[in-house]
């Protein structure tokens, strides 16, 4: 850094080395039409995706535009109930029924639809890891009531660590997960398999 | 210089607030409108450039989600400037001049209503010496107006005349938020907003969007405006408050000189958020042709 020669009147003044300038701005956030409809679905315990045409992709959560078509997404698709998902429905029931086992199917579905959908599994306030064990202390009716009256919070969500369920089908997708390429060999890797591979072992 | 034409223009209705739509939902109908006028799709566009400021809506990277409105997948060639639409237009113009592309989609939008706009704009100031003062945009414009009045370069009647003329021309644009026909004397009877500025001297806070399609090598019959190269060079005055005379805009003086109108009679106007920056007593403003809805709207979309 170059030497700065100060005028005589400033010779003995303590130099300013840093300043702290706090700033806060308040905004009124506009969710918009598409996201408002999605959030209304969440209050009904439904994950509602949207698509622009019956053939195009379903977006969850919808943000208002389909980036492939540059078009609005007026068609609503309830993601959890289309295309006969016995596993998904079972998972949802287990979730309501104090599923305490590792790997709740509902959370697997939700994590494989889109990251932000995890909010659905995480409105329970108690901190520990996965929704299944965390939601056990409330009655079903009470949880439903809470779900209706509060927007979901993601504050206490922690990934459970279980692998995604390869059998979940997302409408409009040919791969098992929304953001990943198809599995090598068509088989979803388990956590044990990934650990084995990363340590140089053979599957 | 390559001949560049504006072949299509669209804008949304400018409103004080659009609370029911997010930015991409507000923007999309206008993009579709501009494309349909010339029967084009995103596949026909060589380059897409947008101008917006995330601070206005308070959503970081909000320009990424608004890009979804043009259909950017599979990936397109695009760019964003944290500036106004005029600057986005300039970037596209440069690319068109280089011959890399033949068509460009330029859009500019703003949702200025979610925050307290004059306060939000303080974040554009020097973060160490000026921003902590929270000197809002209207107050700074009032400082400039005071300097202008004290220097004798303008009177309040001059400013009122600019306001009256601008709002009267807005009557031609059904999308304008504020349009009325009142004589300048009438405006002078209004009280001050922030002295010496009246509300009529300030731009209304606006939510809206404007879209331009530009192309090179287009027949004149198909173009609605030409982008004259003399108007294109983009200049800015230095933002620090103490290093320039507030009553002089060197950038507009240079631009006017380059356009060949520095000394002649000026039949155009400056697009500016405050009357102080567009009043007729100064000859150092950029030349704008009178019927130029495209450029005017690109500025009003950002509503500074």
pLDDT value at residue A176: 47
Axis crossing angle, helix B85-98 with helix B293-302, rounded to the nearest 10: 130
Instruction: Assess whether the previous peptide bond of B74 is cis (omega < 30° from 0).
Output: yes
Query: Which residues in chain B have their CB less than 8 angstroms from residue A17's CB?
Result: none
Q: How far is CA A152 from CA A36, A120, A159, B226, in A?
A: 14, 6, 17, 52
Residue A123's pLDDT is 37
Residue % of chain B over a pLDDT of 70: 85
The predicted model gives B140-169 an average pLDDT of: 92
The answer to whether the CB of B15 falls within 8 A of the CB of B206 is yes
* A67: nearest CB among B32, B72, B113: B72
Q: How many other CB atoms sit within 10 Å of the CB of residue B246?
A: 18
User: What's CA A42's distance to the chain center, in Å?
Assistant: 13
Q: What is the DSSP string of A171-202?
A: TT-SSSSSSSPPPGGG-PPPHHHHHHHHTT--
The radius of gyration computed from the CA coordinates of chain B, to the nearest angstrom, equals 19
Evaluate if residue B158 carries a pLDDT over 70.
yes
* pLDDT tens by residue, B195-216: 899 999 999 999 999 999 999 8
B69, B111, B132: residue with CB nearest A65: B69
**Residues 6 or more apart in contact with residue B153 via CB below 8 angstroms:** B247, B281, B282
Residues 11-40 of A with CB under 8 A from B: 19, 21, 23, 25-35
Stretch A20-25: mean pLDDT: 85
Most confident option among A27-31, B47-51, B250-254: B47-51
By CA distance, what is A63's nearest residue in B? B65
Across chain B, mean pLDDT equals: 84
Which of the listed ranges A144-148, B147-151, B220-224, B229-233 does the model predict with the highest average pLDDT?
B147-151
Distance from CA of A28 to the nearest CA of B (A): 5
Alpha helices in chain B (DSSP H): 23-37, 54-57, 62-67, 85-98, 117-120, 137-150, 156-170, 184-188, 250-259, 293-302
Q: What is the per-residue pLDDT across A60-96, written as a single tens digit (0 to 9) for each?
A: 999 999 999 999 999 999 886 544 433 333 333 333 3
Question: Average pLDDT of A160-183?
Answer: 57
Direct distance between the N- and C-terminal alpha carbons of chain A, in angstroms, rounded to an integer: 57
Mean pLDDT of B129-141: 89
Q: State yes or no: pLDDT of B71 exceeds 80.
A: yes
Q: What does the pLDDT look like over B10-31, one tens digit per residue?
A: 999 999 999 999 999 999 999 9
For A198, counting Cβ atoms within 10 Å of its Cβ (0-12 exposed, 13-18 middle, 19+ buried), the class is: exposed
In sequence order, the β-bridge partners of residue B208 are: B110
* Nearest residue, CB atoms, A64 vs list B22, B31, B55: B22
- Cα torsion angle, A4, A8, A13, A18, sign: negative
Cα B255 from Cα B246, distance rounded (Å): 17
Taking the CA of residue B37 and the nearest CA in chain A, the distance in Å comes to 17
Contact list in B for residue A23 (CB cut-off 8 A) is 123, 131
Looking at residue A174, what is its pLDDT? 54
Long-range contact set of residues A179-182: C-beta below 8 Å, sequence gap at least 24: none
Report d(CA B268, CA B271) in Å as an integer: 10
Which residue of B61, B71, B124, B125 is the best one to mutate when testing the A interface, meaning the one whose CB has the most A CBs within 10 A? B71
Interchain CB contact of B21 with A (< 8 Å): yes
Report the C-alpha gap between B106 and B22 in whole angstroms.
19
């Amino acid at each position: 850094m170059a030497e700065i020669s100060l005028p005589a009147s400033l010779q003995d003044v303590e130099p300013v080395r840093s300043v702290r300038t706090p700033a806060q701005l308040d905004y009124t956030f506009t969710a918009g039409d598409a996201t408002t409809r999605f959030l209304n679905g969440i209050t009904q315990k439904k994950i509602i995706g949207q698509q622009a045409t019956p053939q195009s992709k379903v977006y969850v959560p919808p943000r208002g535009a389909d980036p492939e078509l540059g078009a609005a997404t007026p068609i609503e698709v309830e993601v959890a109930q289309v295309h006969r998902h016995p596993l998904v429905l079972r998972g949802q029931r287990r979730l309501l029924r104090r599923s305490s086992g590792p790997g709740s199917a509902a959370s697997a579905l939700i994590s494989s639809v889109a990251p932000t959908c995890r909010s659905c599994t995480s409105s329970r306030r108690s901190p520990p890891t996965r929704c299944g064990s965390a939601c056990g202390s409330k009655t079903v009716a009470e949880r439903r009531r809470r779900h209706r009256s509060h927007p979901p919070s993601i504050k206490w969500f922690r990934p459970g660590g279980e692998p995604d369920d390869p059998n979940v089908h997302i409408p409009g997708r040919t791969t098992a997960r929304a953001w990943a390429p198809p599995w090598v060999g068509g088989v979803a890797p388990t956590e044990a398999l990934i650990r084995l591979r990363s340590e140089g072992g053979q599957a | 210089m390559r001949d560049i034409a504006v072949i299509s223009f669209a804008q949304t209705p400018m409103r004080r607030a659009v609370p029911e739509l997010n930015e991409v939902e507000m923007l999309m109908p206008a993009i579709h409108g501009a494309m349909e006028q010339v029967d084009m799709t995103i596949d026909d566009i060589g380059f897409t450039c947008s101008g917006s400021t995330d601070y206005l809506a308070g959503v970081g990277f909000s320009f990424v989600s608004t890009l979804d409105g043009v259909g950017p997948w599979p990936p397109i060639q695009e760019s964003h400037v944290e500036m106004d639409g005029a600057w986005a237009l300039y970037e596209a113009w440069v690319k068109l001049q280089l011959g890399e592309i033949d068509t460009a989609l330029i859009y500019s939008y703003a949702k200025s209503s979610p925050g307290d706009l004059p306060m939000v704009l303080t974040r554009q100031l020097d973060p160490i010496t000026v921003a902590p003062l929270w000197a809002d945009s209207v107050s700074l414009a009032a400082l400039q107006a005071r300097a202008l009045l004290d220097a004798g370069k303008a009177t309040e009647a001059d400013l009122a005349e600019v306001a009256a003329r601008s709002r009267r021309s807005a009557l031609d644009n059904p999308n304008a938020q504020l349009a009325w026909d009142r004589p300048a004397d009438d405006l002078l009877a209004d009280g001050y907003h922030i002295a010496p500025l009246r509300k009529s001297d300030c731009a209304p806070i606006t939510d809206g969007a404007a879209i331009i399609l530009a192309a090179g090598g287009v027949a004149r019959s198909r173009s609605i405006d030409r982008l004259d190269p003399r108007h294109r060079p983009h200049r800015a005055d230095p933002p620090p408050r103490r290093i320039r005379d507030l009553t002089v805009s060197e950038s507009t003086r240079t631009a006017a000189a380059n356009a060949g109108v520095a000394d002649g009679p000026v039949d155009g106007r400056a697009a500016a958020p405050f009357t102080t920056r567009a009043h007729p007593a100064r000859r150092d403003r950029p030349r704008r042709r009178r019927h130029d809805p495209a450029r005017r709207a690109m500025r009003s979309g950002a509503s500074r």
